[in-house]
A and B are shown apart, each in its own frame.
Chain A
Amino acid sequence: MRVKRIIQTKDEQEKSSPVDLSLMDHLLEKYKNKKGNLIPILQGTQNIYGYLPESAFYKIADVTGLKLSDMFGVATFYTQFRLHPVGKNIVKVCHGTACHVQNATAISEAIEDALEIKDGETTPDGLFTLESVACLGCCSLAPVMMIGDNTYGKLTGSNAVKILKEIKIKESN
């Protein structure tokens, strides 16, 4: 139970730039009357927007009849779901046993210093979000991190920061 996820405030960004809810129509049509559809719908919604916008919950409730309380319960239970927008690149630093033994903490600290954000935060330019995750299953390459679908292994603090810099340069071109 990740307690920090329970404290949530109304999303400021959503107020300023409204979310295009019609993007969800296809998804809702597909899962509308299936049993056990709650988690796939939330996963699908997050795939569309990168997080779960508040207004999306109301739309799902309207269309499918799922209860808001059930949805919020599920969304705050599983670590996959996010209630806030995230950066373009999510940097997942593995803190599994093998990575811990190989000093994954140093990787996180180096990235925190370089990006000037803490675990779970997003850089002001919206380029990176830093996350600690339990295990990416690439234990033999420990310590590892995952950015998008790419996994980087045998890291040191400095080469992890270098990888981020390379992405930053690529993005600014």
Chain B
Amino acid sequence: MTKTKVLIGLASCGIAAGANKVYDKLKALQDAEKIDIVLKRTGCIGMCFREPLVEVIDESGSYLYGDVNEEKAVEIFDKHLKQNEPVKEYIVRSDLFSSKDDPFWDGQIKIALRNCGVIDPENIDEYEELGGYKAIKKILGEKLSAEQVIQTVLDSGIRGRGGGGFPTGLKWRFAFNNKAESKYIICNADEGDPGAFMDRSLLEGDPHAVIEGLIIGAYAIGAKEGVIYCRAEYPLAIKRLNIALDQARKKGYLGKNILGYKDFYFDLYVKEGAGAFVCGEETALMASIEGERGMPRKRPPFPAESGLWAKPTNINNVETFANIPYIILNNAESFSKFGTEKSKGTKVFALTGKISHGGLVEVPMGISIRDIIFKLGGGIIGGKKFKAVQLGGPSGGCIPEYMADTIVDYDSVNATGAIMGSGGMVVMDETTCMVDMARFFLDFTCKESCGKCTFCRVGTKRMLEILTRITKGEGKEGDIQKLEDLAYQIKETSLCGLGQTAPNPVLTTIKYFRDEYEAHITDKKCPAKNCKQLLTYTVDPEKCTGCTVCAKNCPSNAIDGERKTVHFIRQDACIKCGACFSKCKFDAILVS
């Protein structure tokens, strides 16, 4: 008889939702009642909108409980674990019956995330049980040559998952062809795009898959040393990576004579980033590892010729590496059968923003954006109107509702003016102002520009000033033209991807939402009612009870009225801070 297993999703977001308390509660109950179950932690299960999640796997099947708190944990323990009666009303997924959240799972194909939320990331044995480190054993056991490994990766059609979309096999071949005494392989885990968290989830949920991918890459290009450059904002990912590295070393997967093969030496370490978005750019990242300011370097020479410490270097993203062991073990066809002609395989997306079912999904390339948002994501929160989706973070763009049937593959997304990026999908509804969105991203790139190229350093600042002016109702005729001119100049004259793509959020919003810009500039109105300076606050005489709360809280004394009589806002004195609106308990403040 196999023991009943209880898995608790303990990635950063689960912990933030209170999963540690649930774990502690179940642990205490288990210790007190001495029942024979296996209680273990796992990584991100993906259903972030139902965190904290607890999965019970017993002889009859699997039951995933959502929105678990301490009280529910006690109930699940008493009923399901002790009396074998699943608590049906809390179950969000089971392999025995259907539930309303099933559409979130239908259509997902998990390759990169194959072990996330299944295994204990701090236990190498569990990774090995599910086929872990078999890919590297296959390469060494069957004496596959580096050339054969590269060919398999090339045949799989996998392209860089960090957003660039460059064929990974080709990148490896370049690094392989550059003969040198020492070479480096780097994993880019500096996931700086606001709105993307798939790399964090992978590192927290399945660090060994990434490490095995790196070992295979090192074998293919002939690297002796590797670095995982992880941003410091991900303390849990760094902790789990270091645990995984120690375990891999002890088992002989890293170090000298890997798995007993004399000529194969490889080791790697984790390098903590220090908080600079530009370090996600590969040459800046290498400068940062060398201990310098993270400023991009001129190419050529490309990293494949002269990268870290002027040695041939290959750099790939976390998600790319996580796919590699699967491709090697199951052959190229198992990966390339998914996807479109030019974009093979699956892609992980982080669904966030105004979406009902936010979380982490892995879908085959070629699915439409509409399907991701409405089928998997369950549509918009509160039944509001879907307006646009932002893809690719600060380098990407907004795709409007009428183009939501665009399929996700590198080329189709690029054609819209957005980019695939690392897979952050921020969904926006009718209350999101697109001009404010563009201003938000420019504010980000302006702060994060390293300052090397003049147009990126100064140009983004000028664009930000114009956008800020527009959102304050001080927009002028000709501002849109000015923004477009600056945008093209910045794109043309910047050295690295940050500057070259920084204007994309502005260009795509102008392209698809020009009317919103014009409403701000000409009519001094914000159609989404988001830009405070452009709003007019008035009192609804029907609802006002004369409680005086608004008048007391008004910082500019712009509200007149006696107790128990209808109040009045003097528009000439109103500074549009919105304090009356947020303090009114009777919804009596109207915004237009």
Contacts and interface: CB of A to CB of B under 8 A. Distances in A.
Interface of A: 1-2, 35-40, 42-43, 70, 73-74, 77-81, 95-102, 133-142, 144, 149-153
A135 B274 contact: no
28 contacts: A2-B447, A39-B288, A74-B293, A77-B293, A77-B450, A80-B274, A96-B195, A97-B194, A97-B353, A97-B390, A97-B424, A97-B440, A98-B194, A98-B358, A98-B426, A100-B440, A101-B352, A134-B448, A135-B195, A137-B13, A137-B191, A138-B16, A139-B196, A139-B352, A139-B424, A140-B13, A140-B359, A151-B15
Contact of B12 (A79, A100, A138): A138
Given A96-B194, A98-B195, A138 B13 contact: yes
Contacts of B441: 97
Given A96-B195, A135-B233, 20 more contacts: A35-B291, A35-B309, A39-B288, A43-B274, A74-B291, A74-B292, A77-B293, A78-B294, A79-B275, A97-B441, A101-B432, A134-B448, A135-B196, A137-B196, A138-B12, A139-B196, A141-B17, A142-B353, A151-B15, A151-B16
Nearest to A145: B16
Contacts of B428: 101
A144 B275 contact: no
Of A2, A39, A137, the most chain B CB neighbours within 10 A belong to: A137
Contact of A140 (B48, B275, B289): B48
Contacts of A101: 352-354, 426, 428, 432, 437
B193 interface: yes
B566 to A, nearest CB: 27
Q: How large is the interface on B (under 10, 10 to 19, 20 to 34, 35 or more residues)?
A: 35 or more
B568 interface: no
Nearest to B457: A1
Contacts of B12: 136-138, 151
Interface in B1-19: 12-13, 15-17
B376 to A, nearest CB: 13
B276 interface: yes
B235 A149 contact: yes
Nearest to B309: A35
Interface string B351-381: 1111000111000000000000000000000
Contacts, number: 142
A133 B444 CA distance: 10
A1 B445 CA distance: 9
A70 B194 CA distance: 29
Interface in B264-295: 272-277, 288-294
A79 B294 CA distance: 12
Nearest to A101: B353
B352 A39 contact: no
Contacts of A141: 13, 16-17, 48, 51
Given A1-B449, A96-B195, A140 B358 contact: yes
B293 A73 contact: yes
Given A43-B272, A96-B194, A134-B192, A139 B354 contact: no
A98 B15 contact: no
Nearest to B200: A137
